[in-house]
Amino acid sequence: MGLTVGLTSAGVITVLAGGVGAARMLAGLRLVVEPPAITAIVNVGDDTTLHGLHISPDLDTCTYTLAGAINPETGWGLVGETWNAMAALERYGGLTWFRLGDKDLATHLYRTHRLGEGAPLSQITAEITAAWDLGVRLIPATDDRLSTTVTLTDGSTISFQDYFVRLQHGVPITGVAFDGAADARPAPGVLEALAEAETIVIAPSNPIVSIGPLLAVPGLREAIAARRARTVAVSPIIGGAALKGPADRMLRELGHDVSVVGVAKLYAPLAAALVIDEVDAGLADEVAAAGIRPVVAPTVMSTPERAAALGRTVLECLS
């Protein structure tokens, strides 16, 4: 079966997006809709400043994945990357636990320069994505400061990247907060994309630290809840575990069920349907009891074909 067989005219699709899982979901959706009218509202809670540079990891993961330029070995950064700048930085004892490849640095240089000129992140994101010709519109959830922090068992609070990269998410947490969220405004186009969407998709991203920051921007949760009948979520938890990353441990440590049922409870106020993996078919009744319609399908997007099939499932399950 050719990948472009069975294209649907699905209208406008708006996707709530974190990093890797969302990027694959977007790539799958792009294969099955014609014309592609896909907007992703992307998490910026992971954004950080290093070496004076503004880094937007989830925006970049979505950009590079959709450009076909993601590094397949790491799942982040650019394919064919070199590390000369990092090696040179080591000479000075500079900060190197967050790896920035030579080509990737250009993205951060450009973004930081434009921010310095006063351009909003949404405008800069449009410029960067246009240069890669993605066929998908990426909008940061907000142009304002929104910074995810994590509280550890000793009561200390650290930045998300300190937890995720420096500590390799290997320590238990007691809380997550989104600094600045209360004063953040949705970026231009965000509320319109939610209001206009034929289908809203909550991508299989970390519910706590990828989707959580989006929902913390005043107005977003309400805008999605208002479109609940047209919203479908895909579970990032499969067989009681995350495919990668700390989503499963974070859910447990913050008191949620580590299963599709836990995901169902989080998303039931927002989405009419939850796509759960076939391995979780036995939990479909519990998902339904949590107030969200279960849709059982293969959800591991290990190939573009599988991502496309999941994209089709997502678009068809509300029709």
Residue number with CB closer to Ca ion (213 or 262): 213
**Number of residues near Ca ion (by CB under 5 A):** 4
List 200, 233, 242, 284, residue binding ligand GDP (CB under 6 A): 242
Residue number with CB closer to Ca ion (46 or 104): 46
Residue number with CB closer to Ca ion (46 or 280): 46
Cα gap 122→140, rounded to integer Å: 6
Cα gap 17→214, rounded to integer Å: 9
Question: Do 44 and 140 touch, CB atoms closer than 8 A?
Answer: yes
Does 60 engage in binding with Ca ion (CB under 5 A)?
A: no
List 84, 225, 244, 281, residue binding ligand GDP (CB under 6 A): 244
List 58, 104, 143, 277, residue binding Ca ion (CB under 5 A): 58
**Residue 77 half-sphere exposure toward CB, CA atoms < 13 A:** 16
Q: Residue 77 binds which one of ligand GDP, Ca ion, none, with CB within 5 to 8 A depending on kind? A: none
Q: Residue 180 binds which one of ligand GDP, Ca ion, none, with CB within 5 to 8 A depending on kind? A: none
Segments of 239-302 assigned E as strands: 241-242, 273-277, 293-297
Q: How far is the CB of 102 from ligand GDP (least distance, A)?
A: 22
Measure Cα distances from 312 to 27, 42, 71, 204, 309 in Å. Answer: 12, 21, 26, 15, 5
Does 19 engage in binding with Ca ion (CB under 5 A)?
A: yes
Stretches 21-29, 93-101, 174-182, 219-227: which one binds ligand GDP (CB under 6 A)? 21-29
Q: How far is the CB of 286 from ligand GDP (least distance, A)?
A: 18
Instruction: State the greatest distance between any 2 C-alpha atoms of the chain, in Å, as a whole number.
Output: 58
Segments of 88-195 assigned E as strands: 137-140, 147-152, 157-159, 173-179
Strands 241-242 and 237-238: antiparallel
Which pair of tokens denotes residue 316? 């068809």
In this structure, the number of other CB atoms found within 10 A of the CB of residue 11 comes to 13
Q: How far is the CB of 121 from Ca ion (least distance, A)?
A: 16
Does 205 engage in binding with ligand GDP (CB under 6 A)?
A: yes
- Which residues would be at the binding site for ligand GDP (CB under 6 A)? 18-22, 24, 58, 61, 204-206, 210, 234-236, 238, 242-245, 247, 299-301
Q: Which residues bind Ca ion (CB under 5 A)?
A: 18-19, 46, 58
